[in-house]
Chains A and B, each alone.
Chain A
């Protein structure tokens, strides 16, 4: 990836207001993307730690614990958080549209009490 494209993506991610439809959408995609990267990298095997068994045969291994926590965090993030953020993004877009049009309507309504 070209450095310019990288800069463009990171700017889009970090400069977007988190409390906006796009902010929710981008964060949902980010969680999903990181999870897919971890999965492709082969970290799925570390999920075995959930059953109390070390996937590498060493229950004391700190590295195993870190990989397992990281993978599971992003797995459950992708399953639970990503859909919530995506649904919230749609709801927020509708909410903003409705409040914007209401305020526009209010500003367009002539103030009858004002003296002519």
Chain B
């Protein structure tokens, strides 16, 4: 047969083979959702991720090595990895009280270690280096990124089983956050100098709500004012989504960002369910994507071309797949019980994150500790929110009586 005819036939074969394989490839990675997410109890995959992370924090050398890897890229990831892991372990303890003793031991270890590092090295220890470039507007300087997440870790821990020594710490952090947030015209604390993030401020709001449930105080008016102000000042006109960052006076630095809005919408569930649902629906419309059966999330909506920073992760061109936005989308999809989106995101995770599994543990090789902690938290989300809702309803009915 002539060479050219043979080459043409080979090319046609390759095209047909690609047309067969590419649209069906995702079927190899489609997960059995019940192994990852369960309505009651703890899913088998979540247990395996828990075992891996408990191992990490049980052995100081392993924890140090994992932390060093993340800190070499971004000190924030070290901090956020702790928050997501604590939230996951607390949710797991609420879902399965049998493992609470073991997990609360790790949770306390993380909280104590984080507080000790912050007080020893100052707020810049968990911030990126540019936090030192200019002064914070509010004095003495505090970062709501740190205060919010430390308080959230403690609040989640207290919801599982109150520990007397954490009570005053949580109360003080909540009071400090509110004092600092009240100083800003948009009721927002600075995460970095003259830089407020909806991510951190929504974490603060969720924490304040949980804290109120714990100590019986009522900051619902403050939370309501924050939501009203945000609706007036912090919504992007094109998409209706909350912008990601803004200055102390409420002027946006950036538009809506995937690695922020998924977390924000999930935090808002603790504060204002309708607004949370609205933000999730908009975020999904603007940022969620699907290619050949693989789900993902973009960092920016089509109407906003923002810079890619370290928070976005290495973004895949053309489709604009952002690992950070896709990772945090797991939390929102789980929080809003969006099984279709979850299944598609998991399909991508199974292909791109190179999972390695044995009888005891599950490791996602292409994820850092913070990435795995985010996925782990998404698998366990639910019991904490349910308990907050239930206690809130109890308080309300007691007040009415």
Residue contact A51 to B367, C-beta cutoff 8 Å: yes
Q: Does B239 contact A (CB under 8 A)?
A: no
B21 contacts A84, C-beta separation under 8 Å: yes
Contacts A53-B73, A92-B10; A99 near B1 (Cβ below 8 A) = yes
Any B CB within 8 A of the CB of A54:
yes
The answer to whether A83 and B352 touch across the interface, beta carbons within 8 angstroms, is: no
Q: Is A110 an interface position by the 8 A CB rule?
A: no
Alpha-carbon separation in the docked complex, A17 to B356 (Å): 37
Q: Which of A59, A84, A89 contacts B72 (CB 8 A)?
A: A59
Does B368 interact with chain A (Cβ within 8 Å)? yes
Known: A44-B365, A59-B73, A79-B351. A52 touches B17 (CB 8 A): no
Q: With the chains together, A66 CA to B356 CA distance in Å?
A: 22
Give the distance in Å from the alpha carbon of A115 to the alpha carbon of B334 in the complex: 81
Any chain B CB within 8 A of the CB of A114?
no
In the bound complex, do residue A54 and residue B73 qualify as a contact, i.e. CB atoms below 8 Å apart?
A: yes
Residue of A nearest to B5 (CB): A99
Q: Which of chain B's residues have a CB closer than 8 A to the CB of A87? A: 16-17, 20-21
The complex places the Cα of A47 from the Cα of B354 at a distance, in Å, of: 8
Give 1 or 0 for each of A53-94: 1 = CB within 8 Å of chain B CB: 111111100000000000000010001100111111101100
A91 engages B16 (CB within 8 Å): yes
Q: Which of B28-82 contact A (CB under 8 A)?
A: 65, 68-74, 77
Are A48 and B6 within 8 A (Cβ)?
A: no
A58 touches B72 (CB 8 A): yes
Query: How far is the CB of B257 from the nearest CB of chain A, in Å?
Result: 16
Asked if B69 contacts A57 (CB within 8 A), the reply is: yes
- Does A30 touch B at the CB level, under 8 Å? no
Kindly supply a per-residue 1/0 record for chain B positions 359-393, scoring 1 wherever the CB is within 8 Å of any chain A CB and 0 otherwise. 00000011110010000000000000000000000
Residues of B within 8 A of A44 (CB): 354, 356, 365
A83 to B65, CA, bound (A): 37
Query: In the complex, are the beta carbons of A48 and B367 less than 8 A apart?
Result: yes
Question: Is A52 a contact of B310 with CB atoms below 8 Å?
Answer: yes
User: Chain B interface mostly helix, strand, loop or mixed?
Assistant: helix
Give Cα A49–Cα B310 distance, bound, in whole angstroms.
Answer: 13
* A50 nearest CB neighbor, chain B only: B366
In the bound complex, what is the Cα–Cα distance between A2 and B313 (angstroms)? 47
Expressed in whole angstroms, the Cα–Cα distance for A48 and B21 within the complex equals 27
Give the distance to chain A from B350, nearest Cβ to Cβ, in Å. Answer: 11
**Please, how many angstroms separate the alpha-carbon atoms of A103 and B6 in the complex?**
14
Q: Pick the contact of A88: B1, B10, B310, B365 (CB < 8 A).
A: B10
Q: Is the CB of A91 within 8 A of B69?
A: no
Nearest CB of chain A from residue B316's CB, rounded to whole Å: 10
CB contact under 8 A between A80 and B25, given known A52-B310, A87-B20: yes
Q: Of B1, B74, B351, B366, which contacts A96 at CB under 8 A?
A: B1
Of A18, A49, A99, which contacts B9 at CB under 8 A? Answer: A99
Q: Which residues of B contact A (CB under 8 A)?
A: 1, 5-7, 9-10, 12-14, 16-18, 20-22, 25, 65, 68-74, 77, 310, 313-314, 323, 351-354, 356, 365-368, 371
Question: What are 27 sample pairs from A and B whose C-beta atoms fall under 8 A apart?
Answer: A17-B6, A19-B10, A24-B10, A48-B69, A48-B367, A50-B352, A50-B353, A50-B366, A51-B314, A52-B73, A52-B310, A52-B313, A52-B368, A53-B368, A54-B69, A54-B72, A54-B73, A57-B65, A59-B72, A79-B25, A79-B351, A84-B21, A87-B16, A87-B21, A95-B12, A96-B1, A99-B1
Q: Give 5 closest A-B pairs by Cβ, nearest first.
A: A87-B17, A88-B17, A19-B10, A53-B368, A92-B13
Known: A88-B10, A91-B13. 8 other contacts (CB 8 A): A24-B10, A48-B368, A51-B368, A79-B351, A84-B21, A87-B16, A88-B16, A92-B13
